[in-house]
Amino acid sequence: MNNGLILLIEDEAALRKNIAEIIEHYGFRVMSASTGEEGIKLAEEFIPDIIISDIMLPGIDGFEMFGRVKQLPQLKRTAFIFLTAKSTRSDARAGMNMGADDYLTKPFTKEELINSVRTRFEKLSKLNEHQLENNELIDATSNNLSSLTKTEHKVLNEISEGRTTPQIAQKLFVSKKTIENHRVNISRKLDLSGPNSLIKFALRLKTRKPSRSPSDDTISSSSIQKK
Ligand code: CA
């Protein structure tokens, strides 16, 4: 899996340039920053697959940057590789304990760098496969749609349009409590559990093409597409 995006945070200009060149040479895209603050900004905006960061940085250090970036939900899956001087090896272990994925002790070879990067990407693509399996699960769930009542379909449709419970209640001229009950029933019928799983399902349903046409008087997923 090439063409992944790597964010490199290193304050030593020569080393930064050198690492960036190696990474690019192997087909990855790289974006560089010289401080942790700058790195956080780039990470927030571009959502890299991997962040490679020196620990010793001017301003906030690699650990603090890591701690802050880990709090951003869109970067939950971003992998971290720390760069460390020999004298800070114990620091690197501390970083691993914090949840970093790997560390490279300076000076490291081109092979060590690329191997570490490739391992991270392989793990990320396994995660993607897992995601695909989840999509199949959603397809299976879609087949239970015929068990929903007309009103439940309406509610599901409104959810897929991004409306909240109070908004749906207002639109369908019923109480919020009624909509909440519908949501519970829909989730139960579709076997959805966990936070926001109904919303996620509804949104995915909206973007999905209807896989079959209605065969009887029950409403199939295609009715959700039309609105
Ligand atoms: Ca440094």
For residue range 31-43, what is the model confidence (pLDDT) as tens digits? 999 999 999 999 9
CA of residue 10 to ligand 1 center, whole Å: 6
pTM: 0.59
User: How large is the average pLDDT for residues 53-61?
Assistant: 94
- The pLDDT tens digits for 124-164 are 888 777 776 766 666 667 777 888 999 999 999 999 888 99
CA of residue 34 to ligand 1 center, whole Å: 9
Cα distances (Å, whole numbers) of residue 220 to 101, 114, 139, 155, 190? 44, 49, 13, 14, 13
- The pLDDT tens digits for 179-219 are 999 999 998 888 887 768 888 888 877 766 444 444 444 44
CA of residue 118 to ligand 1 center, whole Å: 23
Alpha helix segments (H runs only) across the chain: 13-25, 36-46, 62-70, 89-98, 110-142, 150-160, 165-171, 176-189, 197-207, 222-226
First to last CA, the chain: 38
CA of residue 55 to ligand 1 center, whole Å: 7
Residue 6 DSSP label: E
What's the CA gap between 173 and 78, in Å, rounded?
A: 44
Range with the lowest mean pLDDT among 113-127, 165-179, 208-222? 208-222
- The three-state secondary structure class of 54 is strand
What's the CA gap between 174 and 11, in Å, rounded?
A: 59
Residue 196 DSSP label: T
Please name each of the domains of the chain with its CATH number: 5-130 (3.40.50.2300), 144-207 (1.10.10.10)
CA of residue 71 to ligand 1 center, whole Å: 23
